[in-house]
Structure 1
Amino acid sequence: MKAGAFGLLFIFSSIHDNPVHAQRMQQQAPKPVDPVVERIVKEAKENSELELLAFELLDVVGPRLVGTPGMTKANEWAVKTFERWGIPAKNQQFGEWHGWERGISHIDMTHPRTKSISGTQLAWSPTTKGKAIEGEVIALPEFQDSLAFRKWLPQVKGKYVMVSMPQPTGRPDWNWKEYATPESYARMQKVKDSINVAWGRRIRATGLAPNSIPSVLEDAGAVGILSSYWSGEFGANKIFGARSHKAPSLDISLEDYGILYRLAEKGYAPRIKVETSSKHVGNVPSFNTIAEIKGSEFPNEYVILSAHLDSWEGGSGATDNGTGTIAMMEVARVLKQVLPNPKRTILIGLWGSEEQGLNGSRAFVLDNPEVIEKTQAVFNLDNGTGRVANINGSGFVHAYDFMGRWLEAVPREITKDIQTQFPGSPGGGGSDHASFVAAGVPGFMLSSLSWGYFNNTWHTNLDTYDKLVFDDLLSNVILTAVLTYKASEEPTLVNREKRVLPAGRDGRGSDWPAIRQPRRSGVGY
């Protein structure tokens, strides 16, 4: 007998003679692999359509602002894609919104030199109706009080008015920290703080809220409103909605806004020429796209895959929330292949008008009480391209038990870095799972790693296809598909008992979030 064989025999004998050691070895043995989970992983990895879905949604359809043709195209594309996979789908109207179509926008400085200006219309902005309107650019000056502001107003007639604070630097804080001397960094922080305070004082002196200033300026004859909402990162501006109703509202890049501001402040009377061709098209319907894989044993009980389909218009809505949309659609495709007859119905909700206040999901909760009553769980994806890093129990006492069982079935390589908080606390309304949690449904936000989300891509002009991390999205597809499979196969509906929430600062107990009414019609914000 060879020495290696003898040693192996000795190990086996030792284990056999030592029941405690044998029991420990048995406990450390790998868990048996569920064949359905194996097929989910295989299908997700070998036949992924994530890149195709991303291309079609982000590059072909593009941004999906509520009330625009882009949102309509997205609803139609989603239904056709589900049907291509053999999954029935439909667009469910929940309201209407003021319709708007972007069209082109050109912004050029014509004096004191010629320069193309980097900028875009804000959402729902009024238009120049295809005409090029030239005018001087002026900055909102300092005022002693609101009376002085009112006396100044006639000077805006025929002019473009800058209403945002000028930035003293276009370099993010992290760039200053990396390269500046400590003294230089401290000095820049002091300058930024000083400008912030002074600008706040300038706005307050008008006697108006910041959001009210554009409409007052246009009523006084301003031909356009210029703003610059810098995100704090190189090249990234937040792009939201217009607050004007007659004059176009334009967001200008930090760099070009700074040029215009300095020229105006130093008496060079810069001029720009603006041409836009956007259209206001009256009220248009708002939809949720709903798809389902019908349950075989409990067809009237549900597991819901949740993501919002709408976006802002700065980029193409890639990480907010194209990633959540394509991941949940891919989960549905994988499960249709691997688990075509789940015990419970798997419902996919791609919500509309989330960006204006969770309107689509809130409407679904109110319009479908029979679904809400029998929903096992809601899994929601909505904060960027990263792999899921945190799961909160949303305040449900028994979330640790059932979510723990379901997570245990997910491959360890997917869950090893996920942090969990049970029972956690109910969300206040940051994303669509909160609409369901308010109704007492166990809804879980599958929170992702940042990848610089809030400054780089969240509601910015840089939220585009090239920021996607497909390896992380694939991980999220496998995680969500396994959770959905286990939730759908659970013998009974889970216990929905809610925790008693801790007392607030006033010493009183906190209330569970209330169901809120959606906005079923609207303009802009």
Structure 2
Amino acid sequence: MKYFCYILISVFLFINLLPAQFVPEKFDSAAIAQIRDEGMNRSKVMEYLSYLTDVYGPRLSGSPGYMTAAKWAKDQLISIGLENAHLEAWGPWGRGWSLKNYSATVFGRQNFPLISYPKAWSPTLSEVVADLVLLDAKTDSAIETYRGKLKGKFVLLSDSREIKIPFEPYAERDADSSLLKLANSDGQRRGGRRFEMTPEMKQRQLISYRKMQLCFDEGAKAILTISQGDGGNVFVAAASYPQHPDSGWSSGAKVYDSKAPKLIPQVSVGAEHYNRLVRMIQKGEKPKLELEIEAEFNKADSGYNIIAEIQGTDLKDEIVMIGGHFDSWHGGTGAADNATGSSVAMEAMRIIKTLNLKPRRTIRIGLWDAEEHGFLGSRGYITKHFAEREGGSSNPDRKIVYKPEGEKFSVYFNDDNGAGKFRGIYLQGNEACRTIFRSWLKPFNDLGASTVTVASTGGTDHQAFDGYGLPGFQFIQDELDYGSRVHHATMDVYDRCPPEDLKQAAVIMAAFAYNAAMRDEKIPRKPPVEQRGNR
């Protein structure tokens, strides 16, 4: 008996000496079961997705199409029963752009329609037939040989690219081995250095800049570039101005500025068709191109986010947020990027409201504008409501000054990695959340979501929150064919989005939002990074 008591005392002492991260996270399992049942069996996520893509897609920032879609989303959130639903200006924009008509036909020994798509903010080009010129130059001296030869011509600016037969599948689920590797990550970069361009890479970039600058100087009629990908799919984003590689992405004129300089029409061409044109010209053929772009510009003084909420009870002044970006590129209908994330967040809010759950904290949805242009919508919202840099600076080295709302902010959960189901969550280096999120994922382990990694991921709006020291997280998602066929492509359409994946994602997002809203404490923040002083 004495020995047995000694064991009990030892176990008791051991349990009380355990670190805080080993204490199980409590949550309302009955409410989570309700959320799962509602979301998996009575989902509206695909209905939301179809409207945002088939009816209201694409949703290019600043365009009338974006505003029409945003008003529809706001009305849907009102119909769900959410409060304070509104379109909220986040800051200055400039001008919107809409494509009204486009055609491209190659004339030569055989005529054929060119698989291609105009880049956003390309100006109208009335139906024009002109020569195609291949600007085949890899040195400054070679570039100079084209001076005086590009005015009024359609210029092929890119090199051709080898197209290999794809023996590997275009789409994939995350393998257990890759998820295990993520789970075991220590979140540190390997090698201790950031990626650096080689001298050869810098030289190629410089030559590309000088080739484009020559097109502008000479008055080329339009610029054609090769699309990434293959199979007739066209990846397309915004047109651009010549920009020296040392100047930085954020510097220089933007095509959406209200007083943007004159822009040359620019077209992204399917790789196989682009390669054919290059080979034709190299063999001495002289193909011509008939090109027509009908574009419409509109004044857009401000950009707008879509905001709505379920008000909390005893902790209603504290905020839990979910969302994803609402804007898209124009080649497809902006389905996997990112009508899925918007639809999942809308469905998560619907689930919680339909079940009449009473969160302690206010749960707010944010559907962000202009993510594709540098997280402008989410950053604008954060600096308006939660935090800004000392002196209103955009310098990340300046001290963060939190506003009253920012002090009461708990967490933001984001969806913007395609249409794949959730497999877990990135901690963004916030180790204090590991046990919390692992516990919250446990009811969904059978749906494939179990991985928690301290690793960080980027490229979307949770980074805007994280950059201001606010807890912001992106879920780990199955890749599917997001990178290979869909992302910023003409095939980013409804059909690339599996219903069961989106149902699962909406259920997990709803559960995470509800659990965060019901905790006694807000989600823990990372220790503040030591500021480097005023620079």
TM range (shorter): 0.7 to 0.9
Q: Which residue of 1 aligns with 2:148?
A: 154
Q: Which moved more, 1:326-335 or 1:222-231?
A: 222-231
The one of 436, 444, 460 equivalent to 2:465 is 436
1:420 lines up with 2:452 in the alignment: yes
**Which residue type is aligned with residue 234 of structure 1?**
G
Deviation at 1:201, TM superposition (A): 8.0
The one of 298, 301, 305 equivalent to 1:281 is 298
1:165 lines up with 2:198 in the alignment: no
1:142 lines up with 2:171 in the alignment: no
Q: Summarize deviations over 1:60-98 as a string: whole Å, max 9, x none.
A: 111112122222122111101101111131111112133
Local SS of the residue matching 1:79: helix
Q: Which residue of 2 aligns with 1:356?
A: 373
Q: Matches of residues 64-213 of structure 1 in structure 2 within 5 Å?
A: 64-88=59-83, 89-95=85-91, 96-128=93-125, 131-142=126-137, 145-169=139-163, 171-172=165-166, 174=168, 204=203, 208-211=206-209, 213=211
In structure 2, what is the Cα distance between the partners aligned to 1:389 and 1:513? 34
Q: Which residue of 1 aligns with 2:427?
A: 393
**Which residue type is aligned with residue 472 of structure 2?**
G
Q: Which residue of 2 aligns with 1:291?
A: 308
In structure 1, what is the Cα distance between the partners aligned to 2:303 and 2:336? 22
Q: Which residue of 1 aligns with 2:486?
A: 457
Q: Which residue of 1 aligns with 2:55?
A: 60
Local SS of the residue matching 2:148: helix
2:427/2:455 contact within 8 Å kept: yes
In structure 2, what is the Cα distance between the partners aligned to 1:512 and 1:400? 23
Relative to structure 1, is the Cα distance of residues 458 and 135 closer, same or farther in structure 2, using a 3 angstrom cutoff?
A: same
Q: Which residue of 1 aligns with 2:218?
A: 220
- Rg comparison, structure with higher value: 1
Deviation at 1:210, TM superposition (A): 2.4
Q: Summarize deviations over 1:378-428 as a string: whole Å, max 9, x none.
A: 1111101111113122222421233234334x34423x542112xx2555x
The one of 38, 44, 47 equivalent to 2:42 is 47
In structure 2, what is the Cα distance between the partners aligned to 1:32 and 1:141? 63
Relative to structure 1, is the Cα distance of residues 308 and 34 closer, same or farther in structure 2, using a 3 angstrom cutoff?
A: same
Deviation at 1:513, TM superposition (A): 10
TM-score scaled to structure 2, two decimals?
0.77
Between Structure 1 and Structure 2, how many residues are aligned? 440
Q: Which residue of 1 aligns with 2:510?
A: 481
In structure 2, what is the Cα distance between the partners aligned to 1:348 and 1:168? 44
In structure 2, what is the Cα distance between the partners aligned to 1:226 and 1:170? 22
Gaps of 5+ in 2: 1-25, 171-198, 242-261, 387-403
**Which residue type is aligned with residue 59 of structure 1?**
D
In structure 2, what is the Cα distance between the partners aligned to 1:220 and 1:362? 39
The CA RMSD measured in Å over matched residues stands at 2.6
Deviation at 1:208, TM superposition (A): 4.3
Deviation at 1:295, TM superposition (A): 0.7
Relative to structure 1, is the Cα distance of residues 512 and 121 closer, same or farther in structure 2, using a 3 angstrom cutoff?
A: farther
Q: Matches of residues 213-362 of structure 1 in structure 2 within 5 Å?
A: 213-231=211-229, 233-243=230-240, 245-362=262-379
1:78/1:289 contact within 8 Å kept: yes
Gaps of 5+ in 1: 1-30, 177-199, 500-510, 515-525
1:381/1:447 contact within 8 Å kept: no
**Which residue type is aligned with residue 316 of structure 2?**
P
In structure 2, what is the Cα distance between the partners aligned to 1:492 and 1:114? 68
In structure 2, what is the Cα distance between the partners aligned to 1:308 and 1:273? 36
2:324/2:345 contact within 8 Å kept: yes
**Which residue type is aligned with residue 229 of structure 1?**
S
1:367 lines up with 2:380 in the alignment: no
Q: Summarize deviations over 1:6-31 as a string: whole Å, max 9, x none.
A: xxxxxxxxxxxxxxxxxxxxxxxxx9
Relative to structure 1, is the Cα distance of residues 32 and 309 closer, same or farther in structure 2, using a 3 angstrom cutoff?
A: closer
Determine which structure has greater relative contact order: mean sequence separation of CA pairs < 8 Å that are 6+ residues apart, divided by chain length. 2
In structure 1, what is the Cα distance between the partners aligned to 2:69 and 2:318? 28
Local SS of the residue matching 1:355: helix
Local SS of the residue matching 1:441: coil
In structure 2, what is the Cα distance between the partners aligned to 1:41 and 1:212? 56
**Which residue type is aligned with residue 82 of structure 2?**
I
Deviation at 1:462, TM superposition (A): 1.4
Q: Which residue of 1 aligns with 2:33?
A: 38
